Structure 1
């Protein structure tokens, strides 16, 4: 179950960055933590091919949706990219965060940023997300899914999360995808509770109910 804070009612994996993390000329950028104990911190991000920017405005909206549900929650970031969503969840008192990222450089940078923050309640796996989720898992309370565009990965991720025990009874699942994809096909016991669009991106929040 998601626990609430009583005090505060081309790379297969790389999908997400930050608006400031994508430099057209190459090199590195940064990811900014919006709120929580590390509010305002800027952390370096590798400029990896396929790292798709997510604006701070979108991130702020998503975490406003999740504000009451992150306290002591176990979170899974499936296509971690810059690690921006996982880091934000940690800053907002998530109990534990697992991040999956295939690109070695991006995964290494996330690990370095966690060391900088002295965050010992997060784990980075330099791995293919679909292979990782093919195994039986332990349930997570909040799951972030932001796959690279036009790679046809979303349906497989959703199936593996559901079939292999990665979701808690009332898990919250955030999905960000290209607007042209339309509304994704999800299990009938996932209720969409939030939806918004920004530019070419659509992002939605689902609440799972045990079958």
Structure 2
């Protein structure tokens, strides 16, 4: 795994040792960011990013590489948080990141976290956790009113946008589906 584009282009991301973490492939990440570029613009300057079920943090680090100002990584897994901490140190982005051990489906209020304009949700497949996490983030004030949300799921799983969102695009890559939602 590597960062596909931006200031960290080509830098390696440490791969997980367990099968509990399923990183988004480089090819899918590249396609996702191409679509994000067509919707938001190729440069993500000024954006605050929320990476739910962060795993290795690949999506959030890709956003930082492409100019995002800040990224909040959410994961409860010990290995995931260890990988993300290592990547934060390796990329030297401690001042641009926050790593939180929280249940993405029960975030609570954002408190001092600025609402995010780009949100990634890459939950364990087939459990409906992505929609629950997005609903939790919306109700807690974690997501900005004009945000773009990227939800990764197995392609045979039907997605219903949580209240307050609308599905604007869906792409399939092998067994994976990427659904793009906007805050309505």
TM-score, normalised relative to structure 2: 0.88
CA RMSD of aligned residues (A): 1.8
**1:48 & 1:71 partners in 2: Cα distance?**
34
Structure 2: how far apart are the matches of 1:106 and 1:162?
24
Aligned partners of 1:195, 1:33: CA distance in 2, in Å?
A: 23
Secondary structure of the 1:98 match is strand
Q: Which has the higher contact order (CA 8 A, sep 6+)?
A: 1
Match of 2:96 in 1: 121
Is 1:201 aligned with 2:176? yes
Shift of 1:145: 0.6
Please tell me whether the aligned partners of residues 48 and 106 of structure 1 are also in contact (alpha carbons under 8 angstroms): no
Q: 1:166 aligned to 132, 137, 142, which one?
A: 142
Please state whether the residue corresponding to 1:123 is helix, strand or coil.
strand
Q: Secondary structure at the match of 1:204?
A: strand
Contact 2:24 2:58 in 1 (8 A): no
1:143 CA drift (Å)? 0.5
1:32-63 CA-to-partner distances (Å, cap 9, x unmatched) read: 00000010111213322321242211111111
d(CA) in 2 for partners of 1:110 and 1:189?
A: 30
**How many angstroms apart in 1 are the aligned matches of 2:110 and 2:8?**
33
Q: Secondary structure at the match of 1:142?
A: strand
Structure 1 gaps of 5+ residues are: 1-30
TM norm structure 1: 0.77
Paired position in structure 2 for 1:41: 11
Task: Quote the Cα distance in structure 2 between the aligned partners of 1:65 and 1:198.
Answer: 14
Radius of gyration: which is bigger? 1
1:64: which partner in 2?
A: 34
SS at match of 1:194: strand
Q: Is 2:137 the counterpart of 1:178? A: no
Alpha-carbon distance, 1:109 to partner: 1.7
Q: Deviations over 1:132-154 (max 9, x none)?
A: x1334541111001100123312
Tell me the matched-pair count. 177
State the Cα distance separating 1:99 from its structure 2 match: 0.3
Equivalent residue for 1:76? Answer: 50
- 2:73 is matched with 99
